Amino acid sequence: MNQTLFDNAPWAGGQPRLSVLIPFKGDDPCDLLATLGREPVAAEIVVLDDGTADAGLTDRVRAQIEALPLPARLVTLARNEGRAKGRNRLVSHARAGHFLFLDSDMAPDSSDFLGRWLNLIAQDDPPVAFGGFSLLQVEPRPDQALHRAMAGHSDCLPASERMAAPEKHVFTSNLLVRRDVFAAEGFDEGFAGWGWEDVEWGMRVARRWPILHIDNTATHLGLDSAATIAAKYEQSAANFARVVAAHPQVVRTYPSYRVARLLRRAPLRGLWRPMIKAYALNGLAPLKTRAFAMRLYRAALYAEAV
């Protein structure tokens, strides 16, 4: 069997109104678990180790879960299942009427983070809501400067701006979903590698339910190096093609799609695309131009999919 379960003592008697669902692979979620455990609310936590195969990390997470006052379960997988399938598996263990998908490298920005979500559930019972990103708790590091600049420009947006394109700003890092919505629309397990499975899910859901955006942010602590960003973009090209095929009318409104279409007409992409990447990775170049080059590199990759 691929999964092993570990429950803490409060799990058996838990009657949660909110299930917090946290996947990880290699990252240590213990700090996040400790933070969430400080809120005395009607919530449970389900953690999925998606095939890390690190006995020491498993022991630390189990010890943290055992110490939590909130009901908590650890699901440990012997083999990696991936982002979409892993989150679908998390839902199969959830018992509440609403799910909060929260990445393991996030840190709530308020001491009543879960309480705010529960108040929203009590008042509005939203089908879907996204709380937002921030960088408030991240210490600046030179090797993460490019990611910080890019995230600040496109990801760390207030709710008022995200509502302009609600399905576009749906990420599983801080996402509330009602049980009946997820029962009708789960994550597409055809996605592989990194990227787009959550945005594609948002596109499907937006056809049937409103997507609410609020300001209940968590800091994204896991900023990447420039080389890691480039590698993730390279992984995501096939996923982008899958989204284009499923939702052409929506994707055509995105700037990344329009730029990719323009670049598709440009000759010799195999020659100039590596040069754009090299500039984006150059730590001595001005940060704004590096960020532009990285976005252009992503569009050049996506040109193969449009």
Does one domain contain both 157 and 85?
Answer: yes
One domain for residues 35 and 148: yes
Q: Does position 214 have pLDDT exceeding 70, yes or no?
A: yes
Q: How confident is the model at residue 275 (pLDDT cuts 50, 70, 90)?
A: very high
Is the Cβ–Cβ distance between 105 and 47 less than 8 Å?
Answer: no
Do 240 and 205 share a domain, yes or no? no
Alpha-carbon distance of 88 to 52, in angstroms, equals 18
Residue 165 has pLDDT above 90, yes or no: no
Let me know whether 196 and 246 are in one domain: no
If asked whether residues 97 and 138 sit together in one domain, one would say yes
My answer on whether 177 and 286 are in the same domain is no
Please state, for a pLDDT cut of 90, what percent of the chain lies above it.
Answer: 74
Average confidence (pLDDT) over 95-124: 97
Q: Is 41's pLDDT higher than 90?
A: yes
In the sheet with 106-108, reading across from the earlier edge strand, the strands are: 106-108, 218-220, 133-134
- Over pLDDT 70: what percentage of the chain? 100
Dump pLDDT digits (tens) for 8-34: 999 999 999 999 999 999 889 999 999
Alpha carbon distances (Å) from 303 to 52, 252, 277, 280, 288? 33, 13, 15, 18, 23
Average pLDDT, integer, range 193-222: 92
Band of residue 61 on the pLDDT scale cut at 50, 70, 90: very high
For range 233-248, the mean pLDDT: 90
Work out whether strand 128-130 and strand 72-77 pair parallel, antiparallel, or are unpaired.
unpaired
pLDDT for residue 215 is more than 70: yes
Considering the domain architecture, whether residues 61 and 121 belong to the same structural domain is answered as yes
Burial call 108-134: b when 16+ CB within 10 Å, e when fewer:
bbeeebbbbbbebbeeeebbbbbbbbb
Query: What is the torsion angle, in degrees rounded to the nearest 10, for the CA atoms of residue 83, residue 80, residue 193 and residue 184?
Result: -30
Structure tokens at 45: 């936590």
* pTM over 0.85, yes/no: yes
What is the spatial distance between Cα 30 and Cα 34, in angstroms, rounded to a whole number?
A: 6
Number of domains in the chain: 2
Backbone angles phi, psi at 212, to 5 degrees: -95, 140
User: What is the span of the domain harbouring residue 165?
Assistant: 3-224
Which of 224, 241, 267 is where one domain is finished?
Answer: 224
> What's the pLDDT score for residue 179?
98
Specify whether 75 is located in the same domain as 198.
Answer: yes
Examine the pLDDT at 254 and tell me if it is beyond 70: yes
Is 70 exceeded by the pLDDT of residue 82? yes
Confidence band for 1, pLDDT divided at 50, 70 and 90: low
Q: What is the mean pLDDT of residues 33-55?
A: 94
72 and 128 in one domain? Answer: yes
- Among residues 224, 257, 292, the one where a domain terminates is 224
CATH number of domain containing 146: 3.90.550.10
- 242 and 112 belong to one structural domain: no
Residue that is last in its domain, among 224, 259, 293: 224
- Same domain? 38 vs 154: yes
Residue 154: per-residue pLDDT: 84
Is the pLDDT reported for residue 98 higher than 90? yes
pLDDT at 280 over 80: yes
pLDDT reported for residue 255:
85
Mean pLDDT, residues 185-198 = 87
Domain match, 196 and 247 both: no
